[in-house]
Structure 1
Amino acid sequence: MWGVTNIGKAASAGSEGTSTNKLTGKDEFLKMLIAQLQNQNPLNPLDGTDFAAQLAQFSSLEQLTNMNSTLESLSALQTTQNGIMAANLIGRQVSANQEGGNILTVTGSSANLSYSLAKDAKKVTVNIYNEEGKLVKTLEGRNQSAGHNTLTWDCGVDAQGAYTFDVSAEDSSGNDVSVNTTITGIVTEVRFTDQSLLVTVNGRQISIADIVEVSGTPAT
């Protein structure tokens, strides 16, 4: 009497040279089970207990196959829903963690400069530079908590353009506090990939999972 293991070995042997280690599906399992019944020795028929065990194994295999199909459908539905939600980000300002995220694009009379503090800081200093690397503004923040923070630069309409900035911070004892800058700008595009959803901010593609703050209303 063959069990699942033996049937699997037979399938592997039969397909050797074309597809090694191929998994046996429920249809192949059922065909082999029928063939086993048709070719049994009349003088030594299949044991009822073993046959019942094989039927139970087939039922479990079918249930797992159906479950996998259901999970794939749910995953596809979740991806679609995430895509619809991501599309609503177009035209909105976001801040996201990203290496080299100290790029700032000013499109109005003010701009938010975002960063993340490793721990509470008594003083935060933000220096803003124009495209030529010239310091144009210094902002200071006081008594900010660990985590994501924002300082607003009231720059006026004449300051629109591209800038970079750096952030330094210190705690109540005057010790340096680690700071990570974040990219801030308007979402102009949403792109779907096999692995994730990407949004375009300031001409750069970032993962939607890296977004830490969303502000403004969607463009119409």
Structure 2
Amino acid sequence: MSTAAINATTGSAASGASNQLNTAAEMSDRFLKLLVTQLKNQDPLNPMENAELTSQMAQINTVTGIEKLNTSMATMASSFSQMQMLQGASLVGRSVLLDGNNLVVDEEGKAYGGFELSSNAASVRIDILDAAGSTIDTISLTDKAAGRQGFEWEAPEGVSTKGLTFKVTANTGAANIEAKTLTFDAVTAVNTAGGTLTLELASGGQTPYSLVKAVS
């Protein structure tokens, strides 16, 4: 992200806060002028009571306080967005772990995936599927503990690596064990559209940062 972009965002936020502050000052000034005019022109035989005067002064303070609070919140929101963008920028080029079953092969011909077991499994079968959904290879694992697990797969020569996915089947004896698939993807860019830090991925998709399970 360029420095100019950050400066532009900061400038815009500062301008907005300044406009809100000016509005609050103008409203308070008008309110006070109206109150002074009312006091000058009140009926000497029926002057404004202290309670009424106090009520109007309280209204002035309430309006001013709300405007200042709005200004502070706008400034905080802008600062938080900038912090999100700066933190997100450090993820570019990194690999993140997400829910999914896509399998991305790197330049060395290797792919990495993961799965999460609901309980211990005596055997785990990982089927590697091509773009058409046909099994092209199988990985067999044994004695895997409950929780998050990872695996590595090397693509055989001559096999197309586009659109690969995988399926995990786990069991202990005759009992099937729930296995949630996890996918690795590289972060190519970040944005804060809609106020949410979103990662743009090498696979072409996007995901909110809140859905990232791990970063490597």
TM-score exceeds 0.5: yes
Structure 1 residues 179, 65: CA separation in 2 closer, same or farther (over 3 Å shift)? farther
Task: Give the TM-score, by structure 2 length.
Answer: 0.71
Aligned pairs (5 A) from 1:29-178: 31-32=30-31, 34-39=33-38, 41-42=42-43, 43-97=45-99, 101-107=100-106, 108-117=108-117, 119-122=118-121, 123-141=123-141, 142-146=143-147, 148-155=148-155, 161-162=161-162, 163-170=164-171, 172=172, 174-178=174-178
Report the Cα offset of residue 65 of structure 1: 2.1
Aligned pairs (5 A) from 1:183-198: 183-198=183-198
Report the Cα offset of residue 32 of structure 1: 4.3
Contact 1:106 1:160 (8 Å CA) reproduced: no
Determine helix, strand or coil for the equivalent of 1:194: helix
Structure 2, unaligned stretches of length 5 or more? Answer: 1-22
Identical-residue share of aligned pairs (%): 20
Counterpart AA for 1:93: S
Give the aligned CA root-mean-square deviation in angstroms: 2.8
Q: Deviations over 1:113-145 (max 9, x none)?
A: 12333x223133221112343322222343322
CA separation in 2, counterparts of 1:179 and 1:87? Answer: 32
Structure 1 residues 109, 26: CA separation in 2 closer, same or farther (over 3 Å shift)? same
Contact 1:114 1:151 (8 Å CA) reproduced: yes
Report the Cα offset of residue 73 of structure 1: 1.1
CA separation in 1, counterparts of 2:198 and 2:153? Answer: 27
Contact 1:169 1:176 (8 Å CA) reproduced: yes
Q: Deviations over 1:157-213 (max 9, x none)?
A: 87672311111223x564333333233221122233123222222111111211111
Task: Give the TM-score, by structure 1 length.
Answer: 0.70
Structure 1, unaligned stretches of length 5 or more? Answer: 1-23, 216-220
Determine helix, strand or coil for the equivalent of 2:167: strand
